[in-house]
A = this chain, B = another copy of it.
Amino acid sequence: MRQYSLCIIGFGNVGIALAKILKDKRDFLIEKHNVEFNITGVADSRGGVVSRDPLEIDLLLDTIKNKGSVGYYPDMGKMKQTALEVIQACQSDILIELTPTNIKDGEPALTYIRNGLLQKMHVVTANKGPVVFAYSEILELARKQNKLFKFGGATAGALPTVNVGYYDLAGSEITAIEGIVNGTTNYILTRMAEDKLSFEEGLAEAQRLGIAETDPSLDIEGYDTANKMIILAISLMGAKIRLEDIARQGITKITPAHIAQAKEEGIVYKLLGRVYKEEGEVKVRVGPEAISLDHPLSRINKTQKAVTFHTDLMGSLTISGGDSGRIPAAAAVLRDLVNLSREDKGELCRGF
Contacts and interface: CB of A to CB of B under 8 A. Distances in A.
Contact of A327 (B149, B313, B351): B313
The interface residues of chain A, by DSSP majority, are classed as mixed
Size range of the interface on A? 35 or more
A246 interface: no
Contacts of A201: none
Contact of A322 (B317, B345, B346): B317
Given A317-B160, A320-B296, A29 B171 contact: yes
Nearest to A236: B352
B168 A350 contact: no
Nearest to A338: B170
Nearest to A146: B348
Nearest to A334: B171
B352 A328 contact: no
A13 interface: no
Interface string A158-194: 1110111011111111000000000000000000000
Interface in A11-36: 21, 25, 28-29, 33
A171 B235 CA distance: 23
Interface of A: 21, 25, 28-29, 33, 139, 142-143, 146-151, 158-160, 162-164, 166-173, 235, 296, 299, 308, 311, 313-323, 327-328, 330-332, 334-335, 337-339, 342-352
